[in-house]
Each structure stands twice: as C-alpha cells, then as structure tokens.
Structure 1
Amino acid sequence: MRAQSMTLAAAGLALLAPATVSLTALPAQGTPGAPAIRQEGFVRAADLLARVRNCTAVSRGRYPTDNGAPATVPVCGTPEAVYWTADMDIDCDGRPGPHCNSSNDPWFSDATAFTQSDGRYLSAETLPYIVVPGASTVWDYREYGVRGGSVAAVVYRDRVQYAVVGDVGPYGIIGEASYATAAALGIRPDPQGGGAPSGVTYIVFKNSRATPVESHASAVAVGERLARSFVQAAKSTVRRSQATEDEGAEEE
C-alpha cells in the first residue's frame, strides 16, 4: 500500500555534464496518455542486473515494501552506487494533471520533496523519477551522495529506464516511482491498483545529477555514461581475477 510522501527541501550536488545518447522508441502501452516505452541508451538490463547480483548492505536493517509486510529489502552499495530490488508503488504527487490528481489518487499531494529549476514541484505524469525512503536510523540516503536530482537506472525485466530522485517517502517503506517511470517500463501506472509486486531494481549513482532536474534528456545522458562505467568496472574486476588465476596455474 502506498503511503503519503514527505516534502523536504532540495539540496545541490556537483554537476555532471551530459553526453549524447540515442533513444529507440518502442510501442506505446494501452494506458491513454501514457508515455511511449523507450529503450534508453545501450547498457543492457542483464548487464546491470549482473553487476548488482551480490549485495553488500549499507543499510542498518531491511525495509518492507508495504505497510504490514515483512522487512526483507536491504539497501546495498558499491563505491559507485546504492541499489535495492523491491516492488513499485506509483507516486502521482507533484503538479496535477489528467492522470495524477486528487480525484484519481486518494493519497495525492500537489508537492514533491524536490523542485525543478523554476521552483515548481515536479510532475509525476511527465518526469520519470524515483522515491527514496525518508532518512532514518535504518538508512540515510544523504550520507551516500544521494540528493534530489540524483540519477538512477531503474531495471524491470529486460528494460532500463533512467530517472532522477524526485521525492521522499515514509522512512519505513521502500519501492516507489513516478507515474511516468512506471509507464515507460510497461508497468501499469494507475496509483490505485497499478505498479509491480516485485522484481524492480533501483540503482542510484552516487554524487550524480541531472541538469536541470526536470530534464529527462540529461538524466538519460548522465545515467547512460555512469551505467556503462558501472558495468565495465565489474567486467574489469572479473578479467583481473581471471588473469591472476591463469598466472597462478602457469606457476604450478
């Protein structure tokens, strides 16, 4: 069950210059007005999932994905990113529109924790963003280079969607993203009854930022560059390990 998100002040991070990345549009889903599904960039979902297969927990405990559910989800970390695999509840908060408003969403709030460059709240309908749990003794996202506008790769099945950190949720639940994020991944974006029950991986790159926050093109460019480095770092480690094993075998 989705709970009401909290509104916090936005904080700045170091800027990362965007690079050019091509987008290949895929067929739109059946939800009227939903964005077309896009395969963003060239880093494969399988490669990202292989990179986060193992978990070194950075949270001091685990999170439930819904109120009353068991706490099973740790926040994991590497030097480059933090990540978790959970469900996806639909956040429709921010500037109201045809799909995200108080009539369609009983939990609707016209505010988001972070704002765009002109001071207005974000639009869940048009901007792919994810929600981080509120800072607590379990995990404080701010201690890991995560702020409003930090860039994330959201992986569901064989699709990768780049997004920004756009809202902050309750401190005791994890697994939520905007209407636009869900629609772009082929997940039903309805705030009532939509979402995905499991299998969504959220990878947030430390000390990253889309510029401006509301520019999805910037999130894709920064995210693709960092995702490529994230995957290549793992492959380099494997190659070094294999080379060491080969040298040891030759010595024997």
Structure 2
Amino acid sequence: MRKRFAFVLAAAGLLAGSVTAGAHATTRGPAPAPASTKEGTVTAAQLLAKVQGCSQISSGKYRTDDETSANIPVCGANGAVFWKADMDIDCDGQVTSRCNEDTDPWFQDDTAFHQSDGEPLIADKLPYVVVPSPSSTWDYTKSGIKGGGVVAVIYNNKVQYAVVGDTGPTNIIGEASYATANALGIDPDPETGGAESGVTYIVFKNSSVSPIENHDKAVSVGDGLAKQFIQNN
C-alpha cells in the first residue's frame, strides 16, 4: 500500500539506532550501503537519452501523493513503458528489523507478488517497484507488465535493476522497496525517507525474473533488456 512520509521523526519521538519494540528488535536508519551502486553495463545517461519525450499510453495522469495534482503520465516506448516521478518507500512484506509495524506506520505483512516459496517479498532485501493497481487510467497487465517483470530505476546517475513486486492505489505512482532506495543512495526510512523527484522507472514489457527473489538474475536480464531498449529506441 502507498505510503507518504508525513510525520517528522523528532515529533514522533523516534531516535536513530536500535530499540526493542514488540517481539522484534527495531532498527532505525539505512542499511549498510551496497557493495556497488552500479549494476550492469548500461549507463544512466544512455537510458535517460531514450526517455526524453513521452508518448502517453495512460488515459489520464497520476499523483505522486494524495496532496499533489495529477501530472505524471505513463509513457510508451519500444519494448517498455516508463514514468518519471518521486520515490516513496515500500516496506511491506515479511517482517524484518527494518520493516515492521514499529518502523512503518503503514506496514502491511504482505505484497501483491510472492517469492517462489509462497512467502511475501522482503522489502529491505529485494529491490522491487510498486505499480498502480489496474484502473481506467492504466492497466499494467495490458501493457505486458506482470509480477517479476524487470524495471530499470534511475536516480542521480545511478541505475538499479528491480522487479515489479507490489501494487498500490489506482491514482498514485512513484514507489519502490526499501532495498531499491538504499541501493540508489536514497534515504530508505519508510516514515521519513524517499526522494521528492528525479526518479525514472523503465519497465520492460513481457519480461520476468524467476524466481522473483533472485536479484542477480534481475540484473543479468535487465542489462540485456536495457541494451535492446537503447538499440530499438
């Protein structure tokens, strides 16, 4: 479900570090930085050069948050769809020390798509993107997009490959998992983190990663699809 970091950390009386809350240890602050912030061989500049314009395929536009105006279209390209928005943090799925009801006021213990063992995804481990639930504005399934589909997420000249892992409200766009944000250098705190703008999401049509939780495979498949995208657009 969509979240918005509407609370101030200090006002909520929350401090950095780890505290014990409920039945689990709650960890505040970002996870350790990933070993590499560059994935694959295609650069952010190469991908961004192919998404300068927009051939709108959505029948309307999306909000980035409940309080903003609807001004984000979903755009079509050869082999992909894309949008440019903000990034809110999805911490839903399996309970961990960083993603739980204590760290995230909007926490839900499930995701729209599940791991190969049937369990929900792990938001602070797996890079995934949230797509709007199907509506008259846009139905992602009719664009060749499905759970486990590959996404290139671009921010601050970095490329992070992710999968389609969850669905959100029908009128809002621009959300990804804790792990996605962390890898891109975005504050992943589900309550106060995220990026206000500057995030590009390129979702490759008719793509899939199986098992969905295999991030190395997402990178391998994504890099190949990114090369095709550059060649064909």
Asked whether the two chains share a fold, i.e. TM above 0.5, the reply is yes
1:173: which partner in 2?
A: 172
Q: Which runs of 5+ in 2 are unaligned?
A: 5-28
Correspondence list, 1:4-19, <5 A: none
1:185: which partner in 2?
A: 184
What's the offset of the Cα at 1:68? 2.0
What's the offset of the Cα at 1:169? 0.3
Change beyond 3 A, Cα 1:36–1:183: farther
- State the Cα deviation string for residues 105-154 of structure 1 (Å, max 9, x = none): 00000100000111010000100000000100000000001010000000
Question: How many angstroms apart in 1 are the aligned matches of 2:151 and 2:30?
Answer: 24
Question: How many angstroms apart in 1 are the aligned matches of 2:182 and 2:36?
Answer: 7
Question: How many angstroms apart in 2 are the aligned matches of 1:33 and 1:124?
Answer: 15
Correspondence list, 1:9-158, <5 A: 31-33=30-32, 35-158=34-157
2:26: which partner in 1?
A: none
SS in 2 for 1:207: coil
SS in 2 for 1:39: coil
**Structure 1 residue identity aligned to 2:154:** V
SS in 1 for 2:219: helix
Task: Tell me if structure 2 keeps the 8 A contact 1:154–1:160.
Answer: yes
Question: How many angstroms apart in 1 are the aligned matches of 2:89 and 2:35?
Answer: 17
Question: How many angstroms apart in 1 are the aligned matches of 2:3 and 2:38?
Answer: 30
- For these two proteins, the number of residue pairs brought into alignment is 209
Question: How many angstroms apart in 2 are the aligned matches of 1:169 and 1:35?
Answer: 26
Percent identity of paired positions between Structure 1 and Structure 2: 59
Question: How many angstroms apart in 2 are the aligned matches of 1:178 and 1:69?
Answer: 21
Question: How many angstroms apart in 2 are the aligned matches of 1:53 and 1:196?
Answer: 20
- State the Cα deviation string for residues 175-230 of structure 1 (Å, max 9, x = none): 00000000000000000110000010000000000121100011001100000110
Larger radius of gyration: 1
Change beyond 3 A, Cα 1:37–1:66: farther
1:232: which partner in 2?
A: 231
TM-score (norm 2): 0.87
Task: Tell me if structure 2 keeps the 8 A contact 1:63–1:74.
Answer: yes
Superposition RMSD in Å: 1.5
Question: How many angstroms apart in 2 are the aligned matches of 1:122 and 1:204?
Answer: 19
1:27: which partner in 2?
A: none
Runs of 4+ in 1 over 3 A off after TM superposition: 1-4, 32-37
Structure ranking higher in helix proportion: 1
Task: Tell me if structure 2 keeps the 8 A contact 1:148–1:164.
Answer: yes
SS in 1 for 2:55: coil
SS in 1 for 2:38: strand
SS in 1 for 2:231: helix
What's the offset of the Cα at 1:32? 4.0
What's the offset of the Cα at 1:37? 4.4
Q: Which runs of 5+ in 1 are unaligned?
A: 5-29, 235-252
**Structure 2 residue identity aligned to 1:44:** T
TM-score (norm 1): 0.80
**Structure 1 residue identity aligned to 2:204:** F
Question: How many angstroms apart in 2 are the aligned matches of 1:68 and 1:74?
Answer: 17
SS in 1 for 2:42: coil
